[in-house]
Amino acid sequence: MSKYKRYERYKDSGIEWIGEIPEHWEITKLKYICSESAVYGLNESAENYVEEGVRFIRTTDIDNKGNLDNSMGGVFLPEEKVKGYILKTGDLLVSRSGSLGTSLYFDEDKYGKCSYAGYLVKFRANSKNCPKFLFYFSKSNIFYIQIQLALVSSTISNFNGNKYANMILPLPSYYEQKAISNFLDQKTAEIDSLIADKEKLIELLQEKRQAIITEAVTKGLNPNVRMKDSGIEWIGEVPEHWKVTKVKYFYDICLGKMIQPNRKDYSDTLEYYLCSINVTWDGIDISNLKEMWFSNDDKKKYSIKSGDLIVCEGGDAGRASIWDGSVENCYIQNAVHRVREKKNSSNKYLYYWLYFLKHAGYIDLICNKATIMHYTYEKFLNTVLIIPDLSEQQEISNYLDKKIAEINSLRKEIEWQIQKLKEYRQSLISEAVTGKIDVRDYKDEGMSNLNLIKKVERRVSRMKNETIYLDRDMNQRFEKEFEAAKKDWEKGKQEYEKQKRDNDKSNFKPSDRT
């Protein structure tokens, strides 16, 4: 935070986990600065939900940034049932169950008329304090520290509104609360916009991964090869010398063992096994291996060795990965299939073929995704397979291994950047609401909206010149995405500057706090 200045004088807050605060700030409790403190929400059964009415906010409706998640549409109650529980702009909601500390700043213009559920607690700032400052306090490290300290002597089920009401916070004047809130509104919006654009890059990389795999396993690597009709409408033409066949003619498949929780014979032994949750497209996750009893015959039948392809029968049916033999004496449970090669076939090629089928929607279709999905032994055996000779399978697999590794490397780098931005966002909020930085007269000199855009554009430019070939359509999509982002940011900057001018004109000076 070296780019931001500090206050001139500090004093000891007397609280170890807060440290020093500006000399003119106070230490108080949340309940002392609220006109309504720790007001519990309404307990209503789902049986009373209606299609239209007043939005009924639950803990699960609030995302980790403090926004109302509208992706699922929400639930509603009749207006007569929510009297006395209608929210006002500026109200702070905090979860007392589930994801403890999840909070929402309510804005009626943004969310419409709403009430709130019983696992949420409402705080309403009094007229001498800024509601948005209370919200940012609820997103600070000192807020989460106090939750953890309270949990030492209680449980989640006993975490009530009174514990929130008694939380300690450093408190500046109304004017400073407002200045800090305006600063954080601007900075978190800029950081969130940058995160959103990086997440778009990840989505585009995922699309590129899918496109590269699809092209390789349906058209091959030679652009000049003679083609033929595959006889499958949604696949179209394939290389003339490739076979259109079924999985069972090139691979041996074994479905795993049913769960055996108890020992049946003295010779049975507890062994590790793989199930569907262990299988990801990027490898086998061995961090949570389970155990069950296996007989000697079971161990012969259900053992796995390095190079075996493991395919989900249940869960995310069709998801697959190659076993690397990282755990000695490991077996399979009946939520997964084990695949081994017959003559003239490659497990790695089948892995990429299944990736194509899964993302094309074919596996979901034959497994009837509307119900509990099962990629049964029979369905797997009879799955369509378009396959070249072994040497070309290996050539395609090696090519895709290289390309996917490049994409994964870029994705991990962007994910690392996103994580650092989230950490920076959290740190910035905490530093501002505890007075570690002075933002009363802040002017953005280092990371304006335009600078953020330029950083993203430079990153996109580098990506275009890196080892992954981005085709013309994909390049155009990048350019359209970021041109739209630039316009949004420029509009946001203009709105912010207008708001700042309006605030300056109003020259609002609240009375001293009592």
Residue 171 contacts residue 28 (beta carbons within 8 Å): yes
Helix residue ranges per DSSP H, 296-441: 296-302, 347-360, 362-366, 377-381, 390-433
More confident site: 169 or 100: 169
Q: CB neighbours of 70 closer than 8 A, spacing ≥ 6?
A: none
Per-residue confidence band for 159, with pLDDT thresholds at 50, 70 and 90: confident
266-277: per-residue pLDDT in tens? 999 999 999 999
Q: Region 408-422: what's the mean pLDDT? A: 94
120-131: per-residue pLDDT in tens? 999 999 999 999
Average pLDDT of every residue of the chain: 88
Q: What is the CATH T-level fold of the domain 26-171, as seen in this structure?
A: Adenine-n6-DNA-methyltransferase TaqI; Chain A, domain 2 (3.90.220)
State the pLDDT at residue 373.
Answer: 85
Question: What CA–CA distance (Å, rounded) separates 442 from 428?
Answer: 14
3-state secondary structure 132-147: HHHHHHCCCHHHHHHH
Same fold, 1-11+174-220+394-443 and 26-171: no
**Residue range 243-387, CATH number:** 3.90.220.20
455-474: per-residue pLDDT in tens? 555 555 554 444 444 444 54
Question: What CA–CA distance (Å, rounded) separates 187 from 3?
Answer: 13
Establish how many alpha carbons lie within 13 A of residue 506's alpha carbon, considering only the half-sphere containing its beta carbon: 10
State the pLDDT at residue 468.
Answer: 42
Class of 1-11+174-220+394-443 in CATH: mainly alpha
pTM: 0.78
Domain ranges of the chain: 1-11+174-220+394-443, 26-171, 243-387
* pLDDT at 152 > cutoff 80: no
User: 307: phi > 0 → left, psi -120 to 50 → alpha, else beta; which?
Assistant: left
Say which residue the tokens 């498949």 belong to: 253
Q: Determine the 3-state secondary structure of 479 from DSSP.
A: helix
